[in-house]
Chains A and B, each alone.
Chain A
């Protein structure tokens, strides 16, 4: 079986995949990194968002072959309860998630945005999160959290 070398959350991992088209999402979840969620497999909902070389991408639309050699960051690698990333800390502080199924994707999209623009406008935050669907209605808190994480507490 072909092997692929991936740099995931700072560690080199070698994974087997039957074919080069295997989505990165399935690779990550197979490694026990289950924060990225399967939502649609179509690139429509953002639940599987991770960072690839610092850019937020939908891991259901990224193949293992494409991810090879790139730096992949998942929610688990972004920070921990003891040492959260500023976006994670703000999401906890604002008590954003309800069911939380979409939360990982939202946080990764927001982290991707803030790594490219330190002080985005509220409208830019909304645009960056437009890829992330949420059924519980945690949107208002999520936007507030991202603004707070960028030092723009309203």
Chain B
């Protein structure tokens, strides 16, 4: 099953040329290895409407595939080559894969929104289909036969009836296609697939398990200096004075101050770090943050908020039947950190006329625009090269660290590596924003939803922002982005079930307490937590089994199938919630939730079994069952890994995670004040993947996140009769709720 796919990186020498469009390939796993042999030289086309931007048939019979989306460990390095090899008709061992370099790969947009395959992969599939048609046409001309009699397979075009074929390389090797992506180029019949749909192994895994993978944290260039940036003790504080004498005993370190931007740069990393800790600086006071214990109230009362109706469907039933029940509930999701295990890091080499930045960011091409702006360089003179980092799951500190490195490299005239500390990452990574939802609903005795209204209070997203406001440029007084970027956090505020009348209203807040940024599955874990919890509340009010209630209101057959699969996996017993023994010292229960992501993408049904210890308030999640339909599956093991990760990461967020702050600063600066899930807390996972080869492939990296909160809250309600509506479900909060004293 192991495909000997090679990942191609470029020699360090070529990287350092910065912006050069003709480079030598180097064959070295993830490692940038200057001694690796050059294999081919290609002059790159970067226009993403051109086949040549994505594919090149090389003279040696290999095919280079260029992808603007990056692999963060989610497996694009195998999935994209699977798509390209399949559609082109060549063995996957002949694919050379290049990703995430603004000088080499086309702009396919940020690697976000779980759209690496759904959008990025489909562009490459269309490029490959266009190329395959062109190769067949070329062969037909050469053989003087009808193209319909030919087939592309095994890296050659040959007669369907059998006989000798012509290798791709001899048809076009080393030359350009000069063709636009043809949206009508015929795609292969999925029934004929031999590569797509197979659990091929990821080419980066062995190097990650043996220590040869080079992360951005490990990357060095000759002449590089180490730097630490010193952030202020209060978020909006300005720098009054710096005592450079306080670090005069540290050899070969230099203090860099640009307005409020303060850093120590030095030759040796440990010495630089110690100097940064020792440096004395005086900062102004600042206390502009809202009070954390009143945050929900502050959000609801914000006079600056703008109302927008997102959904209005049907008309209210009037008069409502006497048996109808109306409920209201309020749900809150706190600010959370991306929680990257490795604090952000970047290397930059900024010269007078050009810059090269090595970064683990998800937004290579977007960042190119941002960094060019504050560096005052033309966009095409700023080259971003992706190197893998610690999983960021949105915009953690990667964007900021790269900006820090660029500012410092320019200041000292040397390549600079910036490494953030643990406190930097926890304190300064932009946060998943807080979300407040009020829901009112009316349910009939038969389980029909008569009326539903969701009101959500969330920070607005400034239209057209390619990035987030960056800390370094802000402090240094450089050109910076202005606005808020949260991702698409208002989706899935309405349930996927039939209702006579439904409304979703969003109250956009002008400000967010801490700088926001997209965090995995932006907004949807909170929205689906509220919507699917409230659905359960309506089911309980009507005295109907939660699965039965959902199936009555659901039309989509793919959704219905998933819910039934979860019922089977859970050996679900049909009965209303809560269960019979809610006062047990250890109360056990089961719950479920269902999500049709963005109402247009992946389908997820999830069940959970929990044990709640009344005395301590501790929730033990014992089992998660998940049925998942993301359409056509490119690599089932890749999808499975993403679903596992989505479930565990979101369980951590729901059970444990909340950024703590006072009026001046973030207080949760390490893993004891901002804990995440550890091995002992990990439940048993059962995942059932539904493959639909004839449907378009959809994202698998986020959708399951959205189903976690409600499945857990519903299970806790089933076990204890108590409803948890505020995340995280810490033992203290659960205990207070169980005792009827909500915090």
Contacts and interface: CB of A to CB of B under 8 A. Distances in A.
A130 B73 contact: no
Interface in A27-42: 29-30, 33-35, 37-42
B501 to A, nearest CB: 39
Contacts of B268: 18, 30
B211 A35 contact: yes
Interface string B616-645: 000000000000000000000100010011
B211 A101 contact: no
B270 A26 contact: yes
Given A95-B205, A133-B341, A138-B645, A88 B210 contact: yes
B342 A100 contact: no
A59 to B, nearest CB: 13
B144 interface: no
Q: Categorize the interface residue count of chain B.
A: 35 or more
Interface in B376-405: 388-391, 393
A142 B268 CA distance: 35
B421 A41 contact: yes
A141 B643 CA distance: 12
B206 interface: yes
B218 interface: yes
B680 A135 contact: no
A103 interface: yes
A135 B649 contact: yes
Given A38-B342, A39-B342, A100-B204, A76 B271 contact: no
A136 B204 CA distance: 15
Interface in B176-232: 201-202, 204-215, 217-218
B679 A98 contact: no
A67 interface: no
B218 A34 contact: yes
Interface string B73-86: 11100000000000
A99 B680 contact: no
Interface string A76-95: 10111100100010011001
B141 interface: no
Contacts of B481: none
B512 to A, nearest CB: 22
A140 B209 contact: no
Contacts of B516: none
B671 A42 contact: yes
A101 B390 contact: yes
A104 interface: yes
A143 interface: yes
Contact of A130 (B74, B75, B646, B679): B679
Contacts of A100: 73, 204-205, 208-209, 213, 388
A136 B645 contact: yes
Contacts of A98: 72-75, 391, 641, 645
B670 A42 contact: yes
B69 to A, nearest CB: 15
Contact of B419 (A22, A38, A78): A38
Given A133-B678, A138-B645, A104 B211 contact: yes
B339 interface: yes
B341 A134 contact: yes
Main secondary structure of the interface of B (DSSP, over half): loop
A45 B390 CA distance: 13
A45 B210 contact: no
A96 B212 CA distance: 16
Max count, chain B CB within 10 A of own CB: residue among A88, A102, A135 = A135
B628 to A, nearest CB: 14
Contact of B641 (A37, A40, A75, A95): A95
Interface in B49-101: 72-75
Contacts of B74: 98
A58 interface: no
B210 A136 contact: no
Interface string B331-342: 000000001111
A49 interface: no
A42 B669 CA distance: 11
Contacts of B419: 38
Contacts of A30: 268-270
B113 interface: no
B430 interface: no
B206 A38 contact: no
A45 B671 contact: yes
A129 interface: yes
B309 interface: no
A113 to B, nearest CB: 12
A41 B645 contact: no
A112 interface: no
Nearest to B682: A139
A152 to B, nearest CB: 17
A79 B270 CA distance: 28
B313 to A, nearest CB: 36
Max count, chain B CB within 10 A of own CB: residue among A75, A102, A133 = A133
A8 B22 CA distance: 41
A5 interface: no
Nearest to B2: A92
A62 B546 CA distance: 53
A23 B641 contact: no
B358 to A, nearest CB: 14
A151 B390 CA distance: 31
A38 B74 CA distance: 22
A24 to B, nearest CB: 11
B210 A97 contact: no
B510 interface: no
B671 to A, nearest CB: 4
A45 B677 CA distance: 11
Interface string A55-70: 0000000000000000
A102 B341 contact: yes
Contacts of A95: 201-202, 205, 637, 641
A43 B389 CA distance: 20
A47 interface: yes
Contact of B205 (A80, A97, A104): A97
A44 interface: yes
Interface in B643-690: 644-649, 670-672, 676-680, 682, 685
A103 B208 CA distance: 7
Contact of B644 (A44, A75, A137): A137
A126 interface: yes
A9 to B, nearest CB: 10
A99 B343 contact: no
Contacts of A22: 270
A99 to B, nearest CB: 4
Given A38-B342, A44-B671, A125-B679, 15 more contacts: A18-B270, A29-B218, A34-B211, A35-B210, A41-B421, A45-B671, A76-B211, A84-B210, A95-B637, A96-B209, A98-B74, A98-B75, A99-B388, A99-B389, A130-B678
Chain A to chain B: the 8 pairs with minimum beta-carbon distance, closest first: A35-B211, A137-B648, A100-B208, A137-B645, A98-B73, A99-B73, A99-B391, A34-B218
Interface of B: 72-75, 201-202, 204-215, 217-218, 251, 268-271, 339-343, 388-391, 393, 419, 421-422, 637, 641, 644-649, 670-672, 676-680, 682, 685
12 contacts: A29-B218, A30-B270, A34-B211, A34-B217, A76-B212, A84-B209, A92-B206, A103-B209, A127-B679, A134-B341, A138-B641, A141-B644
